[in-house]
Amino acid sequence: MTPWKNNPKWDLLVEDTYAEAFKSIYASVLVTARDPKWLLAACRAATGHASSTILCDCEAGIEQILDGISPGQETPDGRVGAILQFHVPRFRKDRVLHLEKVLLARLSQNVLTCPTTRCFNLLDTDPYLKLGRKIAFFGDGHQTQTEMFGHKGWTIPTLGGDFFLTRRFGFADGIMGGNLWFLAYTEDAAIESAERAAIAASGMPGVITPFPAGVAASASKAGSSYKFLIASTYAEYCPTLKAKLGDKSLVPDGVVSIMEIIINGSDLDKVAQATYAAIDAALPVKDLQKIRAGNYGGRLGKSFVYLHPDKHPLT
């Protein structure tokens, strides 16, 4: 039985609302290395400073860690690997060029430079980005077109040995901005709820949680009183502003902390399923007052994830 149908806390604690997500284009990349240490070093660097599209060049994260050999976890070279997602908003007019710049910088500076790594494309699409050839110029004329592990690509000589990457990298439509807010009577409860939710969401296929450890303490609203900002703190939901704002505050009595998770993914249904797994994981936490989500009446995006699954059109 699905969790929301046999958990009475769902109707009690989960607000009947929706998370307002928006469309993206994204790339899906597989990085492999000789061991988990160097794999995670490359992946953390490649997905660093990519929490929020507000001021980062993209939103990125680790979708899945693969052992390389188990059924469903195979990698082309049989080594440990990680699937990474890189998202940019679809509303950007230069979205394809921008995604290419993102990948060019992050793969060349953080994956190629990391000992023992290789890099493979996971989206077979047309159009595609001729990224391998551009990164291969680092070989200074000594790069070669090769086919390894069933993939056509480029081999680039480095002091640490040859680096291989796929010649083409695809991109597809995705979803950004799925979110959940965890309102709690204690800071510990807010953080524990969000941590549990982030772990559960990140364990679902096809999604990432881009914020540090999957959790954000700074849910924002679109716009600002300052003209040069596109987003700012959601003052009405800041617990420390409750007394100052008076009737304008939207913080329930007794709530002292609100934590958020963000979920991006390959499609709306995967983001929705990750959302429901996250909610179910957080519900048992003591001192959790409410689970809700950020939305702006459709001004930010038109992709809605309803927190009550019976209202979600894809479930």
Burial 251-267 (b: 16+ CB within 10 A, else e): beeebbbbbbbbbbbbe
pLDDT of residue 1: 37
Query: Angle at Cα 132 formed by Cα 211 and Cα 119, nearest 5°?
Result: 50
pLDDT of residue 314: 58
The pTM of this model reads 0.95
* E strand residue ranges, 171-241: 172-184, 207-208, 220-222, 231-233
Domain covering 23-170 in this structure, CATH number? 3.30.70.520
| 3-17+175-311 and 23-170, same CATH topology | yes
Name every residue whose Cβ is closer than 8 Å to that of residue 253 and which is 6 or more positions away in sequence. Answer: none
Query: Phi first, then psi: what are they for 14, rounded to 5°?
Result: -95, 115
pLDDT of residue 302: 86
CATH of 3-17+175-311, one of 3.30.70.520, 3.90.550.10, 3.40.50.300, 3.20.20.370: 3.30.70.520
Give the separation between CA 48 and CA 212, rounded to whole angstroms. Answer: 9
Which portions of the chain are predicted below pLDDT 70? 1-6, 313-315
**CA 264 vs CA 55, 138, 198, 268: distances in Å:** 17, 32, 12, 9
Answer yes or no: are the C-beta atoms of 165 and 148 closer than 8 Å: no
Tokens of 8: 């009475």
Domain ranges of the chain: 3-17+175-311, 23-170
Query: Phi first, then psi: what are they for 128, rounded to 5°?
Result: -145, 170
